[in-house]
Structure 1
Amino acid sequence: MTARAPALWISEADVASLLDMAAAIAALEQGLQLEARGDAANMTKTHVAWPGGNLHAIGASFTGAGIAGTKTWAYTPKGSTPLLILFDSASGALLAVIEAFALGQLRTAAASGVATRRLARPEARAFAIIGTGEQALPQAAAVAAVRPIDGIRVFGRDPERRAAFARRVEEELGIPATGAGSVAAAVDGAEIITLATRATEPFLRSAMVARGAHVNAIGAITPERAEFEPELLGRCDPIVVDSVSQVQRLSREFMTHFAQGSAAWSVVTPLSAIVAGAQERPPASDLTLFKAMGMGISDLSLGIGCYRRAAEQGLGRSIPHPERARIRLRPVKTIPGGVRS
């Protein structure tokens, strides 16, 4: 059998040098266009939980690119190590292994950027973000990339982290930011609200949100989590998600709302349909909402571009392609002196 070409191992530093927020948003929009045309398809997200952690796997195939891939990671309180693995969809050959923490931050934020561009009022300037973790700054950057934000209000449970995050926003994005003492104070009058937490109980009440706002909810991606009360969905038109099948299976907020019979699932629109149809916010809409669960098309949209740029620019570390070996069918015998036969 002919040896296959080496694959690329693309590091976090490589990813950071190859992609920025604008490039991530553009790459994701292209991937969503392909999804709408039927040229990209998601793998059903799977996960398993145990006390103190959970394991996730998502993936997708891109027909035109001839690439399929999967991203997997184990979340624990001590951290995670996400990896995106790309394969040639015709031969099954390994193309690349991409360290995917930075890529994941960019793709999740890019989804909010794409949704905010389509769903927030064009003149929206007042932005509130709930959560000060690792996703928070990219989320703020994505919203600022598509709307003329002139001030950001921040809420997180830890006052010191809240203040530190506000300073970091000002330093890195050049936008005035202030800490708020509560969720209600942060979102009061906000035109765009992003929820980026690991909350297990809803904290955003419908009554807190002003008419005309757009909400990005990106933190609650498994059934044990929730960020907004399900009643909020009754005010939203449109309700947009990255993956309808995943919110049906994994979003407690959505499952609770639709189980009550107040609306049919047909009112939920995939983000790809919004992008492909060049749809914008309806003028009479009370609220709009985008719910991100994370999907393989998002990761591969960025990952394929990252892989191609790395190959063109000579970045990444060449690794030998895995080769098959004969399996051992019988126990190895050892003769006196330690020599195996």
Structure 2
Amino acid sequence: MTEPVWISEQDVVDLMSLPEAIDALERGLVLEARGEAQNMVKTHVAWGHNNLHAIGAAYPGAGFIGTKTWAHTAAGACPLLILFDAETGQLKAIIEAFALGQMRTGGISGVATKWLADEHADVLALIGTGKQALAQLAAVHAVRRLKQVRVFSPRADSRREFIDKARTRFDIELIEAASVEAALADAPIVTTVTRATQAFVNAADVVQGAHINAVGAITGERQELAQDVFVRCSRATVDDPAAARKLSSEFIRAFGAADGWSGVASLSTVVATERGRQPGDDITVFKAMGMGVSDVALGIELFHRAAARGRGLDIKQPQRCNPRLTTGVN
């Protein structure tokens, strides 16, 4: 039996770039649409302002099942992706998942932008400058050759710090926007990646035909998009429809009545059918909840790359021991 491997953050970074992650995510989404990958509905428990999350997926044809878990706390987090053999249930890999998570979260927006944004769009309004923001910018830039990015977050020092960092990585005009409205003005692509609890994107501020990646509001207390955005929305797409039904207060309000959810498509269907933006579309919205199909798709690709290049640290396969059923010796 092959021993499992521990794949570190440095291994992940060395083995995969964000554009490569976008390609791997697309392949995983196609498998999901074909029924060859099954998603485990995201679950979480909250205490105070902290959350424990768990997501996962099965790729039985590829020989893998996996789960990613992390506790998001004010003091930080430690995400781990665990891969098992789909036939035997034995451990195959433990992958440190900070960089992996950024590539998954950014990359899925890249996939959505590729299929749903206007093919000539070259301006991005980026709302939010936290840990995920740089990967979001990079992912959109990987599928659309951006000329300008307008950056807004409530704190001016955060905006400037982000712009300074982005300028060292991208040859793009970066503009500090003084307000959400200034950032959104005539921007054909919008990405929101915040922890806001009150909606701040209003339909009146969004240009005709814009595409929105709504990334930040993944638990019930959060909101980014006002409900009038959905009134103008030609196509609403999510990575994980089940998670959106359960946790996205924005989508629950917009589509929860009657059979409204029938108008919400999965991103896997969009990719598999190659049905991108249509000429008559107004606003398109992609809601990224985070799903196991995406994380495990990247994990499988990283596992194969690590094996081919001799990367990762071999660890011992866990061995069964009988439990002590009494206080005496077994």
Aligned partner of 1:290 in structure 2 is: 286
Q: Supply the distance in 2 between the matched residues of 1:237 and 1:156 (Cα, whole angstroms).
A: 27
User: 8 Å contact 2:245–2:256 — kept in the other structure?
Assistant: no
SS in 2 for 1:44: strand
Out of 95, 102, 107, the residue aligned to residue 104 of structure 2 is 107
> Offset at 1:142?
0.5
1:156 aligns with 2:153: yes
> Offset at 1:51?
0.9
> Offset at 1:330?
2.0
User: 8 Å contact 2:33–2:269 — kept in the other structure?
Assistant: yes
> Offset at 1:169?
1.6
TM-score (norm 2): 0.97
Deviation digits for residues 6-31 of structure 1 (CA, Å, limit 9, x no counterpart): 21111111000111011100000000
Deviation digits for residues 249-288 of structure 1 (CA, Å, limit 9, x no counterpart): 1100011112456x72111000001001111111111111
Q: Supply the distance in 1 between the matched residues of 2:317 and 2:60 (Cα, whole angstroms).
A: 23
Aligned partner of 2:11 in structure 1 is: 14
> Offset at 1:164?
1.3
1:247 aligns with 2:256: no
Instruction: Structure 1 unaligned segments of length 5 or more: list them.
Output: 334-340
Tell me the number of residue pairs that the alignment of Structure 1 and Structure 2 aligns.
330
Q: Aligned ranges for residues 72-83 of structure 1 at < 5 Å?
A: 72-83=69-80
Aligned partner of 2:221 in structure 1 is: 224
Q: Aligned ranges for residues 301-320 of structure 1 at < 5 Å?
A: 301-320=297-316
**RMSD across aligned C-alpha pairs, in angstroms?**
1.3
TM-score (norm 1): 0.94
- Identity of counterpart residues, as a percentage? 50
Aligned partner of 1:211 in structure 2 is: 208
User: 8 Å contact 2:68–2:292 — kept in the other structure?
Assistant: yes
Which portions of structure 1, spanning 4 or more consecutive aligned residues, are displaced by more than 2 angstroms?
A: 258-261
Instruction: Structure 2 unaligned segments of length 5 or more: list them.
Output: none
> Offset at 1:230?
2.1
Out of 59, 69, 72, the residue aligned to residue 62 of structure 1 is 59
The farther-off stretch of 96-105 and 251-260 is 251-260
User: 8 Å contact 1:231–1:257 — kept in the other structure?
Assistant: no
1:39 aligns with 2:27: no
Q: Supply the distance in 1 between the matched residues of 2:189 and 2:166 (Cα, whole angstroms).
A: 16
SS in 1 for 2:162: helix
Q: Supply the distance in 1 between the matched residues of 2:18 and 2:294 (Cα, whole angstroms).
A: 14
Q: Aligned ranges for residues 263-278 of structure 1 at < 5 Å?
A: 264-278=260-274
1:238 aligns with 2:235: yes
Q: Supply the distance in 1 between the matched residues of 2:257 and 2:292 (Cα, whole angstroms).
A: 30
Q: Supply the distance in 2 between the matched residues of 1:241 and 1:259 (Cα, whole angstroms).
A: 14
State the structure with more CA Rg.
1
Q: Supply the distance in 1 between the matched residues of 2:323 and 2:128 (Cα, whole angstroms).
A: 50
Out of 105, 129, 137, the residue aligned to residue 126 of structure 2 is 129
> Offset at 1:5?
3.1
User: 8 Å contact 2:123–2:189 — kept in the other structure?
Assistant: yes
